[in-house]
Structures are given as C-alpha cells and as structure tokens.
Amino acid sequence: MEVNPNLSDKAKYDLDLVELAVKGDQKAFAELMGRYRDAIYFMLLKMVNNKSDAEDLTIEAFGKAFKNIHQYSPNYAFSTWLFKIASNNCIDFLRKKRNNIVSIDGGITDDKENDQPIHLKDETPDPEEHLIKQQKKVLMRTVVKKLKPRYRILIELRYFKEFSYEEIAEELDLPLGTVKAQLFRARELLFNTLKNSDIKLG
C-alpha cells in the first residue's frame, strides 16, 4: 500500500486508525466516527437544510465508508475520501428527491424571472424501487432486533412508523432532547451492526 508522503500528522493518525479498523477494531471505527461526525453533519446540513435529513445522511455516509473502508487508498487523506462519500451520497439523495417532483412551466413568455413553475409531486410508485425498499426494511428489521429494547423502539418509531421526533417524545413520554440524543445513539449502534452485515445503506 503506497502512502502519500505529504500526508499531514492528522491524516497519518487517521491512517493508523483505518488500518486497525480494516482488521475489525471496533474502537478504531468509533474514534474515526467521533473525529468527523460533527464536521460531516454540518456539511450535510448546509446541503440539505434539514436537521433530520442531515442526521440520517451522516449515519449513511459513515455506514458506506466503513463498509468499503478496505477500498480507501492512502494516496490522499481519509477525511478527503470520507467527505467525498458523504457529499456524493447527499447529491444522490437530493437528486432522488428532486426526481419525485414534476416541473411544469406555468408561463409562455420568454421572461424566465416572471415564469412561476408549478410543482406536482409524482405519486406513482416505481415497482422496482418499492420492492427494494421492502427488502431493505425486512433486512433492517432483522438487524434492529439485535438492539436493546429502548433503542429498538426508537428506531422502529422513527424509521418504520415514520414518527416525528415530537411524536416519539409524546409516545414515550420523554423530553424532546432525550429522544434526539438517544435516537442518535441508537443509530450509532444500528450502524455498528450494519457495517458488519451485508446490508447496503442507500
């Protein structure tokens, strides 16, 4: 494995962690996540402008990176590779979201500034996408069952029943801040399990 001699001390430290992670060291995975989670989250938040989506995309980014960590090449910093995965995943997310909207030009003039496009949501489900979604849910449920009950119920309410944070807080009679903190922890545990499975996130 050819290592770029110009890597910074920070990047070299990351490389040591990556090498440990490739061997299955759970602490190395956790430390890498701790070092970059906030930076990734705030980058994604700027891209999607939605806290909940940014949190989900943060977990997905680490899930994808850790699942493919053996493909990382030390020709460049681990952080560069990780941010590229996160931004590409986010761009895919935004593209899929945009594809669900059919844009129809409302005006017939050449004055584009005054034309008001009409956005209609495409409600027609793609059969293949629906099937993939269902298969992924079945696999996810299998993994979720391995979590402790208090974390399992949070994941189930958030992702399977699609409750909002406020609805979860009301359902479980917990403060909103506690729900968010515990859900973030639940997702960390979930993703730790996922990275050791064959389930692809996204």
Count CB neighbours of 68 within 10 A: 12
Per residue in 50-74, pLDDT (tens digit) is 888 888 888 888 888 888 888 998 8
In whole angstroms, give the CA distance from residue 9 to residue 115. 53
Name, of 79-88, 155-164, 184-193, the range with top average pLDDT. Answer: 79-88
Average pLDDT over residues 114-135: 52
Q: Whole-model pTM above 0.85?
A: no
Task: Give the Cα-Cα-Cα angle 196, 140, 94 (nearest 5 degrees).
Answer: 95
3-class DSSP state of 107: coil
What does the pLDDT read at residue 186?
82
Confidence class for position 47, pLDDT limits 50, 70, 90: very high
